[in-house]
């Protein structure tokens, strides 16, 4: 999908950014930057600390693996 440069500037979208088209109940469509969705999700789970690798390392230690 090609968006005019002026519209991208107004929306804070850079050329090449991934966007989502979100259908609304009234039939309209909302354009959302995919990065915004990721940022919101990361903020929501900010309280969760560590990585999957750390989790697996800890579980292996719990199970007696080295």
Please write the tens of the pLDDT for every residue from 3-54. Answer: 898 988 988 888 888 888 889 999 999 888 776 656 665 666 666 667 777 8
pLDDT at site 23: 94
pLDDT at site 61: 84
pLDDT at site 46: 63
pLDDT at site 47: 64
CB neighbour list of residue 13: distance below 8 Å, 6 or more residues apart: 3, 7, 19, 33
pLDDT at site 62: 84
Cα 65 from Cα 45, distance rounded (Å): 29
């Amino acid at each position: 999908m090609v968006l005019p440069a002026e519209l991208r500037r107004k929306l804070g979208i850079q050329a090449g950014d991934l966007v989502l088209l979100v259908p609304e109940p009234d039939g309209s469509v909302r354009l959302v930057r995919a990065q915004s969705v990721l940022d919101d999700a990361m903020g929501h789970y900010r309280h969760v600390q560590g990585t999957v690798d750390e989790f697996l390392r800890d579980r292996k230690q719990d199970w007696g693996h080295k």
